[in-house]
Structure 1
Amino acid sequence: MKNELTQEEIDEADVVILAVSITIEGLERFEGKKIYYADVNECISNTTEVIDKAIEFSRGK
């Protein structure tokens, strides 16, 4: 898989942002992590806003 996250990177993450337009394999790697689902186009157009929303999501706001 191209640009696959390492388990160490996943373990260190407060939140995982998934912006995908297809079904992905290996979601079990993110078990126990907060997952923020984002629109692909929104991530491209408004990257900072998406990251801010994911951070708020991870903090339960």
Structure 2
Amino acid sequence: MYHGKTFHHMRRCGTPRDRQRGGRGVRMRIVGICACCSGIAHTYMAKKAIVDAAQAAGDEIHLETQGTIGVEDELTPEQIAAADCVLLCVDVHVEGTDRFKGKKVMKIPTGLAIKAPKQIIRKIHEELERDA
């Protein structure tokens, strides 16, 4: 089982759909935030692991980081609007979650994102397809 709050915070929104983008089919669009307690190592390790797993699954993903040097790769309103879901890989309070109102949100700790990124992406797919 995943972290206790993994899908507890998921709310109904759009469903995944096959898309053509640049000649490549995109299964799902994911946006999110990564942030750990110190805002250094785990933030970036979680981002890399999740991005790699999502891209391997054929998804489009955009993750911003919130850490000791501030916000990096800040999500655009267009990226958020086009997203099928939001993934929060966080161990601390993050700013700007109000941007995700009306979206399905999955919240997990950074450690889980680092240890099981493929399983997290698979679980997101299962949940969204089940709700479709």
- Which TM-score band (shorter chain)? 0.7 to 0.9
Give matches, 1:3-42, under 5 Å.
Answer: 3-42=73-112
Runs of 4+ in 1 over 3 A off after TM superposition: none
Task: Provide the TM-score with structure 2 as the length reference.
Answer: 0.42
Could you report, residue by residue, the CA deviation over 1:3-61 in whole angstroms, capped at 9, with x for unpaired residues? Answer: 2111111111111010111101111100110000112111111111111112223343x
One-letter amino acid matched to 1:34: K
Gaps (5+ residues) in structure 2?
Answer: 1-70
Task: Provide the TM-score with structure 1 as the length reference.
Answer: 0.84
CA–CA separation in structure 2 for the residues paired with 1:22 and 1:3: 18
Identity of aligned residues (%): 35
Q: How many residues were matched structurally?
A: 61
Gaps (5+ residues) in structure 1?
Answer: none
Q: Is 1:53 the counterpart of 2:113 in the alignment?
A: no
Q: CA RMSD in A?
A: 1.6
